[in-house]
Structure 1
Amino acid sequence: MKLPRARLTTSSIILVCLMSCGTDPDSLLEVTVPSGATLTEVADTLVNRGLLRAQAPFKLYARIRGDDRRIKSGRYELQKGSRWRDILERLTKGEVMTIPMTVPEGFRLVQIAPRISEVTGVTQDSVLSVINNSDQLASLEIPGPNAEGYLFPDTYRFAPGVSVESVLQAMTDRYHSTWSEARRVQLEELDMTENELVTMASIIQAEARHNSEMPRISSVYHNRLREGWLLQADPTVLFALGGPRSRLLYAAIDSVADHPYNTYSQPGLPPGPICSPGDLALAAALNPAQEDFMYFVARPDGSHVFTRTLVEHNRAKLEAQRERDQIGSNGHPEPSH
């Protein structure tokens, strides 16, 4: 008994597709599927790019699978020699090309803007203009005076041509996702606003060279706030000065005495974050170590010595200075915490 011609043709196509239906293997090829493109237009593009030998059997195969109306627009990277099934799975799932963007913990807006510029193709000045737009800040539900501290550090992947607004939305969505209900309860117990907590976390992030010390650094700053002391956090002064210094001398601190971010002269926390804290810093700000340390001083290896009294602190400063001298570091006196 002979099969009908249509069924025989379909069976033959499926058999060929299962065997391969690709072209000879080679390198990755970039393919762009415009918005609203028809199956014929997509198949033509695949033929022109050398991913198909002919479009008609591919189109029939796509219709059999029900994929003819499910192909998503975008830029794709496809392996030459791929089976039709694999090509269609990529196209219907929308597995478009992406560009990675990594923002490390502790980055400031001026450091983040160039990375956003790279993935969007927009100038850094234009990126900062969007970031500082008041309507944009409101739409992102940022609780601080500006976006500083709220573009969450992480590795993101964006499609080519992504807008600045979409990047900012992804980064602030990531930030908002860190706030679980349990963290909201902790925030209320600390009697702090969200902006105050993120500001504290940003200072902890900037201070810590070892993540394990974050809860202890947090405890020192919480203790100082509780006792009504000045925070005297070096990173806030560096923020006021506009960037890092090899040595933070008292003259530099005095030069920005009236700056609202100078915690050597201004009481309480600064108006907003000084950088983008990561999740560990946020956790440390919410969960300070239950200790009574009031001071800490940095050692040459980036770790800190924590002390309770000024006498102990001054002793720790002298020891840290001796360590710096032994490794040939310049002996200028530095402010300490």
Structure 2
Amino acid sequence: MIKVWITLFSLTLVIAIGAVRGLQFLNHPPSLAETHKVIEIAEGATYNSVSELLEREGLITSRIYFRLLGAWTGNEKNIKPGEYGLHTAMRPMELLDLLVRGKILHYQVVIPEGSTARQIAKLLEAAKLTEAEVFMKVVEDPTLMSEFGIEGESLEGYLFPDTYQFPKRTPPHEIVRRMVTQFQAAYDESLRRRADQLRMTQREVVTLASIIEKETGHPSERGLISAVFHNRLKKKMRLQSDPTVIFALTEFDGNIRKRDLGIPSPYNTYRFIGLPPGPISNPGRESLSAALYPADVDYLYFVSKNDGTHSFSKNLREHNRAVNKYQRKKA
């Protein structure tokens, strides 16, 4: 009988000690100091392997108690894969809650207005979200273009410039879909109605907007730049836009040379009348609007004043005077 009581007492003591340690495990983080760790839980990882990883990284004090916690809460199969930002001052329940809710890390990427698809690809590669060449292949994927009803050789022009948040390992197709979806939201019904009034296709609007975006970074000039191009198109004049030539060049060192103006590319608006075959950059909402709402002026020319703005002229004589004033003096 005494042996039975000793056994029961021992079991009770073990259980009590286990309960106390369990409460300590739940209520006390590994450290009061926040040592931040980034961990990645692979697709298909087991709860046990996650417990071992957390203990190894010093984020929990006991993988055994963390396993018991998972069983007690019924979350052994509910942990989401992905990359997490955790720290050593987190209690186990708080940590488990993040893993179950899938609060994975997101990486911010800022796409400036007027960026080309190639420039966007490099930004995403720098953020370690995808390889630039892989992204470019997706941008040129005819299946994806067909999904959005977009014609042409690529989705250049439809990768809307904005600030994005993407988790690690986001498929490139999903990144592109997100950007094109943002474009569709920006190119809303009011712009579509205006395009119909002007008898412009969506592609023509985006192409013109992409040139406007590249020609000026000054918001007050967008409508004036748009007016120059609209007026030239009506008069069957060449647009003679430097950014279209730059887009056509395979290499550009920052200077346009006379020989560049003669390249046979259909994007060279010094050689060919009308808009180029497609967009040369990815324009923002303001440039899309400017393409559809040109200023009510009869300008046909503009030249840089070397301060971020331009001088506008109605005829070639005025334009030549402006060139002499702002450009030849500079040379």
Correspondence for 1:312 among 298, 307, 318: 318
Provide the rounded CA distance (Å) in 2 between the counterparts of 1:245 and 1:157.
32
Relative to structure 2, which stretch is displaced further, 96-105 or 180-189?
96-105
What letter corresponds to residue 168 of structure 2 in structure 1? Answer: P
Correspondence for 2:181 among 170, 173, 176: 173
Report what 2:110 is aligned to. Answer: 102
What letter corresponds to residue 284 of structure 2 in structure 1? Answer: G
The answer as to whether partners of 1:72 and 1:91 remain within 8 angstroms in 2 is yes
The answer as to whether partners of 2:140 and 2:153 remain within 8 angstroms in 1 is no
What letter corresponds to residue 73 of structure 1 in structure 2? Answer: P
Report what 2:41 is aligned to. Answer: 33
Deviation at 1:237? 1.9
Report what 2:155 is aligned to. Answer: 147
Deviation at 1:58? 4.3
Aligned partner of residue 202 in structure 1, secondary structure:
helix
Matches within 5 A, 1:77-226: 77-119=85-127, 123-226=131-234
Matches within 5 A, 1:290-329: 290-321=296-327, 325=329, 329=330
User: Residues 75-105 of structure 1, C-alpha deviation per residue, up to 9 Å, x if partnerless?
Assistant: 2120111123432342233221233333322
The answer as to whether partners of 1:120 and 1:163 remain within 8 angstroms in 2 is no
Deviation at 1:134? 2.5
The alpha-carbon distance between structure 1 residues 264 and 42, as it changes in their structure 2 partners (threshold 3 A), is same
Deviation at 1:49? 1.9
Report what 2:271 is aligned to. Answer: 265
The answer as to whether partners of 2:141 and 2:154 remain within 8 angstroms in 1 is no
* Higher alpha-carbon Rg: 2
Provide the rounded CA distance (Å) in 1 between the counterparts of 2:249 and 2:56.
57
Give 5+ residue unaligned stretches, structure 2: 1-15
Provide the rounded CA distance (Å) in 1 between the counterparts of 2:97 and 2:53.
17
Q: How high is the TM-score relative to the length of structure 2?
A: 0.81
What letter corresponds to residue 132 of structure 1 in structure 2? Answer: E
Relative to structure 2, which stretch is displaced further, 133-142 or 219-228?
133-142
Correspondence for 1:238 among 246, 264, 267: 246
The answer as to whether partners of 1:13 and 1:61 remain within 8 angstroms in 2 is no
Relative to structure 2, which stretch is displaced further, 69-78 or 205-214?
69-78
Give 5+ residue unaligned stretches, structure 1: 1-7, 332-337
Provide the rounded CA distance (Å) in 2 between the counterparts of 1:63 and 1:282.
55
The answer as to whether partners of 2:301 and 2:313 remain within 8 angstroms in 1 is yes
Provide the rounded CA distance (Å) in 2 between the counterparts of 1:182 and 1:48.
57
Deviation at 1:120? 5.5
Q: How many residues align?
A: 317
Report what 2:282 is aligned to. Answer: 276
Q: How high is the TM-score relative to the length of structure 1?
A: 0.80
What letter corresponds to residue 42 of structure 2 in structure 1? Answer: P
What letter corresponds to residue 154 of structure 2 in structure 1? Answer: N
Provide the rounded CA distance (Å) in 2 between the counterparts of 1:247 and 1:94.
49
Report what 2:292 is aligned to. Answer: 286
Aligned partner of residue 121 in structure 2, secondary structure:
helix
Deviation at 1:200? 0.4
Deviation at 1:205? 0.8
The answer as to whether partners of 1:23 and 1:52 remain within 8 angstroms in 2 is no
Matches within 5 A, 1:13-92: 20-55=28-63, 57-58=65-66, 69-92=77-100
Deviation at 1:60? 5.5
User: Residues 254-303 of structure 1, C-alpha deviation per residue, up to 9 Å, x if partnerless?
Assistant: x21x3211212211111001112122222221222222222211111121
Relative to structure 2, which stretch is displaced further, 43-52 or 123-132?
123-132
Deviation at 1:319? 1.8
User: Residues 219-254 of structure 1, C-alpha deviation per residue, up to 9 Å, x if partnerless?
Assistant: 21122223332222121122223354544344431x
